[in-house]
Amino acid sequence: MKNAPALSSRSEYAINLMRRRIIDGQSEPGSLLAEVAVARELGMSRVPVREALFLLERDGLVEFSETGRAFVKDLSPQDFEELFTLRLALEPLAARLAAPQLKKDASLLEKNISITQRAKSVKDVTRLDLEFHEIILDASGNTRLLKLWQSMRGEMELWLGRLHRSHHLQTQGTLSETADAHAAIVNCFKTQTPAACERLMREHILGWREWLPLL
Amino acid sequence: MKNAPALSSRSEYAINLMRRRIIDGQSEPGSLLAEVAVARELGMSRVPVREALFLLERDGLVEFSETGRAFVKDLSPQDFEELFTLRLALEPLAARLAAPQLKKDASLLEKNISITQRAKSVKDVTRLDLEFHEIILDASGNTRLLKLWQSMRGEMELWLGRLHRSHHLQTQGTLSETADAHAAIVNCFKTQTPAACERLMREHILGWREWLPLL
DNA sequence: GTTCTTCATAATGTATACCGTTTCAAGATT
DNA sequence: AATCTTGAAACGGTATACATTATGAAGAAC
């Protein structure tokens, strides 16, 4: 038809494009994502678009009405509180489970920190921060735990993106503080017990929450 | 409790049927669920079947190969351990969050217990047990917490179903013990603090784990 | 002005058809 | 016997077409 779908499959292409548009705020929260309109714009049929919308709903970036229409998710402060509550429940657990593995090999975390220290934009640091945490979830060895966390990641990116666009968070302090806090966590993994790692991660998440504008 | 698109009839029908077949063990673990075959058997086209398979994957009853073929999930003991770990993380939290609400009104829980006391089959008690817990998750007021739990429910039913079929659990003791334990939890909600409810729920989940054959 | 009705439009639900890829077993090769 | 080919059948990815329902604005009734 029109433009060649770059990535492996069309639905994957549709997912990535819509995902970015939603997180970057190009798609208005609450706006309708009609299958035909999206399909025509992306140069494909409704079928892969439909599939993409299903997967984006799983990631919390899209929500369906009772009659099956897809809308760009409009997160509320309460939604964010829910996400925070779940991070606080899942991440310290993941840190404890991952501790034995990360004590042996924390190279991925260290590499992430080293890149973070050189990062310049808030956007990059946000992404690297999430990746740091995801490395830990992955190292926990609990595939379901990882998947649950990943299912919330999109919503967190969405929330943080909107926050950055509206509030212009002060970047100077947070950039280095993020790397420092992460370095402390890595040190804990290398020298302390799993229970200690769990406690530190809990404090880290609590601190992260304190940081954000209350809105 | 509506999710995703309307699923007015056909895809919903397909979901319910396949779901039951998988949990009841009529569909062999690891067997292929080819879209054409299922569609022809259920008297519909591939489209609603395809949608049903996607949603069943979200519920952990189906898994896709890299090339997109759907198979009946084959749970391993490790899978069950993961589920247990997550229940232990999420349910005590839910109990604490739900405590204020349930202190005011525990009628749904009490009704569930009353039905459980009169239940005869292990199958019924298993279902009522899960419903009891889901009532608490629902009362927590955290919609994401509830959804995460629901996404694991299918796998738990699947595991328990296979367990019952292979081990013939002794039913006499567990039937009444389930109702008794649940009654104690309700009493805790009505008279104790949220933190106490959280601790009791943790003990309850740990006890539940002890019960099951190790396999 | 407000509420109810109507109805064209728009959107999803579903079916069918085509195409490319994967699969797997029969046959070839060593 | 074990391994490597190979090709037809099976299967999923996608497009298109049709069916059904929801939506929302314009008009009717009060």
Contacts 24+ apart (CB under 8 A), B162-169: B162/B25, B162/B29, B162/B75, B163/B212, B163/B213, B163/B215, B164/B122, B164/B123, B164/B126, B165/B25, B167/B213, B167/B215, B169/B122, B169/B213
* A199 has pLDDT over 80: yes
Q: CB of B40 under 7 A from strand C?
A: no
What is the domain class of B10-72 according to CATH? Answer: mainly alpha
Q: What's the confidence (pLDDT) of residue B171?
A: 59
B45 touches strand D (CB under 7 A): no
Confidence of residue A6 (pLDDT cuts 50, 70, 90): very low
Task: Confirm whether any atom of chain D, the nucleic acid strand, is less than 7 Å from CB of A50.
Answer: no
CB of A86 less than 8 A from some CB of B: yes
Which chain A residues are Cβ-neighbours of B3 within 8 angstroms? 64
The average pLDDT across B3-26 equals 81
In the predicted model, what is the mean pLDDT of residues A168-194?
Answer: 87
Q: Among A39, A40, A36, A43, which residue's Cα sits nearest to residue A2? A: A43
**Residue B181 predicted with pLDDT over 60:** yes
* pLDDT tens digits along A47-99: 999 999 999 999 999 999 999 999 999 999 999 999 999 999 999 999 999 99
Question: Is pLDDT larger for residue B149 or for residue A163?
Answer: B149
What are the residue boundaries of the structural domains of chain B, listed by start?
10-72, 77-211
pLDDT of residue B86: 98
The lowest-confidence range among A120-134, A201-215, B38-52 is A201-215
Q: Is the CB of A53 under 7 A from strand D?
A: no
- Closest CB to B6: pick one of A54, A66, A82: A66
A32 touches chain B (CB under 8 A): no
Residues B143 and B94: beta-carbon distance below 8 Å: no
Topology of the domain covering A77-211 = Four Helix Bundle (Hemerythrin (Met), subunit A) (1.20.120)
Residue of A nearest to B83 (CA): A144
Among chain A residues, the shortest Cα distance to B82 is held by A142
Cα-based distances in Å from A6 to A13, A22, A53: 7, 20, 19
The pLDDT confidence band at residue A171, using thresholds 50, 70 and 90, is low
Q: Range with the lowest mean pLDDT among A94-98, A209-213, B20-24, B42-46?
A: A209-213
Q: Nearest CA to CA, how far is A172 from chain B (Å)?
A: 33
Size of interface A-B (CB pairs under 8 A): 53
